[in-house]
């Protein structure tokens, strides 16, 4: 079994995230301020983040398990450390840079699936900043499509729940597709790959449409799509952000500058109060968020 609901299944084959345990506090990415401390490296008042932040209003945590961050990097907007200037931004930036082969002046077209989610909304903007002349997003509602084009500067957006994805891709990508940032997998990705140019590149970021299925990661493709990859010399290599953490510091500086200068716009769906954590989590699992899903516990 290799699905990627790593926190909600005993055996996923992923070694980077362990399942939540019954009767133990749930955890996830979090950021906050130290209220009192016996740790010299994390004194009172400093801002810290962790991938294993307990879902509590207050928590006693080991200093060694926390990463100190500089609020100036996000102009005080601390939730950005969980998204655009955190693991999400790193996934988008390093995914594009390591696997996308985006080249300025090469007249490339990028397609992003899951484009209005946390990673996709940043990845498309990075594609544009790095030199793609056209960036097309695929997502699940007209409101999300509007946000991609009007707020984030995508060239076009396709609502996969309503539009004919194949026909709309042909319209929006008249020169074919050179780079595909794939967050979702399944039939959407097979439709995109069928329109990819010779020597083009798939950034295999995630396959969220397949995560509830009992299939290996990455999930198998149809024979037709495998043939298209081979015939057109399309690369499709597995990408995991944790394999590139030695590049994180420089990448976070770059993301911070782009966010502070407004060249990257950040979308967040913010829900207030720890009592709404469960509702927000379930909404996120159904695509209810535009940009990063954030729960604000306190000021």
Give strand pairing partners of 295.
271
Sign for the CA dihedral angle at 209, 148, 85, 263 comes to positive
- CB nearer to ligand NDP: give 55 or 281: 281
Give strand pairing partners of 180.
111, 202
Q: Which does 188 bind (CB under 5 to 8 A by kind): ligand NDP, ligand LYYGC724, none?
A: ligand NDP
Q: How far is the CB of 249 from ligand NDP (least distance, A)?
A: 17
User: How many other β-carbons are positioned within 10 Å of the β-carbon of residue 110?
Assistant: 31
Binding site for ligand NDP (CB under 6 A): 4, 88, 91, 114, 116-120, 139-141, 144, 183-184, 188, 205-206, 208-209, 239-241, 284, 287, 289
Got the DSSP string for 65-134?
G-EEE-GGGGTT-GGGGGTTTSHHHHHHHHHHHHH----TTS--EEEEESTTBHHHHHHHHHHHHHT-SE
Q: Which does 284 bind (CB under 5 to 8 A by kind): ligand LYYGC724, ligand NDP, none?
A: ligand NDP
Q: Which does 114 bind (CB under 5 to 8 A by kind): ligand NDP, ligand LYYGC724, none?
A: ligand NDP
- CB nearer to ligand LYYGC724: give 140 or 206: 206
Q: Which does 51 bind (CB under 5 to 8 A by kind): ligand LYYGC724, ligand NDP, none?
A: ligand LYYGC724
Q: If 0-12 CB within 10 Å is exposed, 13-18 middle and 19+ buried, where does residue 60 land?
A: exposed
- CB nearer to ligand NDP: give 45 or 220: 220
Cα 143 from chain centroid? 19
Binding site for ligand LYYGC724 (CB under 6 A): 4, 6, 14, 16-17, 51, 87, 206, 217, 238, 240-242
Of the candidates 64, 111, 69, 107, the one whose C-alpha atom is nearest the C-alpha of residue 249 is 69
Q: How far is the CB of 50 from ligand LYYGC724 (least distance, A)?
A: 10
Beta carbons of 160 and 135 less than 8 angstroms apart = no
- CB nearer to ligand LYYGC724: give 87 or 193: 87
SS (HEC) of 35-75: CCCCCCCCCCCCEEEEEEEECCCCCCCCHHHCEEECHHHHC
- CB nearer to ligand LYYGC724: give 127 or 206: 206
Please compute, for residue 101, the number of CA atoms within 13 A of its CA located in the half-sphere on the CB side.
14
Q: How far is the CB of 286 from ligand LYYGC724 (least distance, A)?
A: 15
- CB nearer to ligand NDP: give 32 or 83: 83
Q: Which does 238 bind (CB under 5 to 8 A by kind): ligand LYYGC724, ligand NDP, none?
A: ligand LYYGC724
* Backbone phi, psi, residue 66, to 5°: -110, 150
Q: Which does 17 bind (CB under 5 to 8 A by kind): ligand LYYGC724, ligand NDP, none?
A: ligand LYYGC724
Q: Which does 126 bind (CB under 5 to 8 A by kind): ligand NDP, ligand LYYGC724, none?
A: none
Q: How far is the CB of 91 from ligand LYYGC724 (least distance, A)?
A: 7
- CB nearer to ligand LYYGC724: give 247 or 260: 247
* Backbone phi, psi, residue 80, to 5°: -60, -25
């Amino acid at each position: 079994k290799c699905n990627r609901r790593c926190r909600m299944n005993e055996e996923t084959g992923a070694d980077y995230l362990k399942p939540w345990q019954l009767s133990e506090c749930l955890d996830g990415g979090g950021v906050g301020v130290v209220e009192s401390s016996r740790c010299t490296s994390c004194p009172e008042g400093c801002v810290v983040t962790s991938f294993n932040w307990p879902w509590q209003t207050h928590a006693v945590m080991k200093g060694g398990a926390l990463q100190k961050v500089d609020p100036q990097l996000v102009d005080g907007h601390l939730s950005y450390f969980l998204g655009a200037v955190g693991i999400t931004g790193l996934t988008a930036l390093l995914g594009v840079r390591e696997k996308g082969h985006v080249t300025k002046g090469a007249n490339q077209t990028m397609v992003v699936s899951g484009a209005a989610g946390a990673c996709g909304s940043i990845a498309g903007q990075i594609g544009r900043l790095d030199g793609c002349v056209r960036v097309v997003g695929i997502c699940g509602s007209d409101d999300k499509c509007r946000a991609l084009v009007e707020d984030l500067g995508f060239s076009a957006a396709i609502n996969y729940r309503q539009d004919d994805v194949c026909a709309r891709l042909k319209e929006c990508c008249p020169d074919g597709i050179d780079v595909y940032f794939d967050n979702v997998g399944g039939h959407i990705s097979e439709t995109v790959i069928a329109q990819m140019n010779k020597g083009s590149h798939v950034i295999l970021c995630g396959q969220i449409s397949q995560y509830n299925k009992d299939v290996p990661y990455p999930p198998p493709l149809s024979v037709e799509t495998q043939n298209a990859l081979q015939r057109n010399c399309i690369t499709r290599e597995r990408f995991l952000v944790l394999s590139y953490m030695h590049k994180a510091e420089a990448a976070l500086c770059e993301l911070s500058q782009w966010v502070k200068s407004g060249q990257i716009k950040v979308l967040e769906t913010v829900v207030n109060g720890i009592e709404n954590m469960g509702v927000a989590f379930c909404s996120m699992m159904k695509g209810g968020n535009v940009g990063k899903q954030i729960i604000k516990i306190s000021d």
